[in-house]
Amino acid sequence: MSDLPRKTVARTARLASLPLGYAGRATLGFGKRIGGAPAEAVAADVQQRTAEQLFKVLGELKGGAMKFGQAMSIFESALPEDLVAPYRATLTRLQDSAPPMSASLVHQVLARELGAGWRKQLIGFDDIPAAAASIGQVHKGVWHDGRAVAVKVQYPGAGDALVADLKQIGRAAKLFAGWIPGLDIKPLVAELEARTSEELDYDLEAEAQRLFAAAFADDPEIVVPNVVANSDKVLVSEWIEADRSLARLIAEGSQGDRDHYGQIYIRFLFSGPARAGLLHADPHPGNFRLLADGRVGVVDYGAVARLPDGSLPAVIGSLLRHAVEDDYEAVLLGLRQAGFVKERMSLTASDLRDYLAPFVEPASVDNFQFSREWMRVQFSRINDPRQPGYTTALKMNLPPEYLLIHRVWLGAIGVLSQLGARAPFADILAESLPGFLVDDAGVDDAGVDE
């Protein structure tokens, strides 16, 4: 048997160990309860052990399993506190860390991608990775011109592993849903699968990063590292000296820092299309590095949305503005025209108001305080079959062209809620979201007569 089949079998077995391991721990917990242990203590012990195994398996696998774990981590703010508390530290770790590959393997990749004389280009190279994530890891180095650089090296076989992991996770979606009740895993896995080839192509990532670097070159709050060199599997960028990531801020930051960096974070995500013609589509906090001077360094441009006309669809801003103005007849009409509500679905403006009004609240006030509690309430409204919002949600549709936009929007709101950040959300939307403001002629940015 070749190495690849053996590795594939081993990876599949480890992924399968997640639900099997949970079943074993649940059985053990049942035994402890018979022995007289309090139910709450047993449940907490089972959840803690599950969290530990989850990080160990997903972290070791990297690839699609690690990427799936990172994607899940930004939604923990929506989950009930008694469920998510044992997992929070594990999920935060998934946002910006993973077990590294060996130095000898890294050297092999560098020699293959940059040539046998790669040490003449990289006159300094730290074998210990500065960061390790789903499909590659980053090392600090020194370029031959003296610049400190970040060297992103893709794991050998990452493509095959990524596809295999995501297919396995897709097949086990119901089991993972038991880990996070109420969350539909399949669409997320399908989205990750669809973006696999793009994220594996470092040439494509370098092109996107260059566009962002040029667009934000003089920005007082955002730093995008310039690309120094790249191949299909190695990407060399200028080094960003940062104390921590946004993920660390979630775990241990002051309220002032949470507000400050949270606002920069959301401004970058929303302004990217207008400035760079691209949407940065990987909003997890590990990609946002906090600089000592108060700026934010943004890394990882493997997942981007190349939007028509290089901007967010004006219909999003127009419909959000109508909702803020409490004109849900216009919202319903616009949603039907854009394909968010199919014609055959029976839905009233009143239904939409009840469903959307709480989501619209951040854009309806001067400053909004995001929180895990607020996010959990919204999540419960649309995922609890006993709530009217659940029925309305079933009647909604997500057109494929809005898939990445939807991911970024929900992910960003999830991160702001994790941060507990206070932000002038409406002002930030007005700066970058086409259609949110009406021009002097009384025609909205989407071209719809008022």
Rg of the chain's alpha carbons, rounded to an integer? 23
- 225 C-beta neighbours (distance < 10 Å), count: 20
Cβ 331 vs Cβ 352: under 8 Å = yes
pLDDT of residue 445: 43
With a cut of 50, list the residues of the chain below it in pLDDT: 1-6, 8-9, 11-12, 15-44, 47, 51, 55, 59-64, 94-97, 175, 177-183, 440-450
pLDDT of residue 174: 53
Token digits of residue 207 = 């092109």
pLDDT of residue 327: 96
pLDDT of residue 426: 94
- pLDDT tens per residue, range 228-272: 999 999 999 999 999 888 988 988 899 999 999 999 999 999 999
- Domain chopping of the chain, boundaries: 3-97+168-183, 312-432
- pLDDT tens per residue, range 18-32: 444 433 333 333 333
Token digits of residue 138 = 């980053």
Nearest residue to 51 (alpha-carbon basis) of 96, 97, 94, 101: 94
400 Cβ neighbours under 8 A, 6+ residues apart: none
**Would you say the C-alpha torsion 99, 103, 106, 108 has a positive or negative sign?**
negative
pLDDT of residue 55: 47
Distance of CA 298 to the CA centre of its chain: 13
288 — alpha (psi -120 to 50), left (phi > 0) or beta? beta
Question: Pairing state of beta strands 288-290 and 304-305?
Answer: unpaired
pLDDT of residue 8: 47
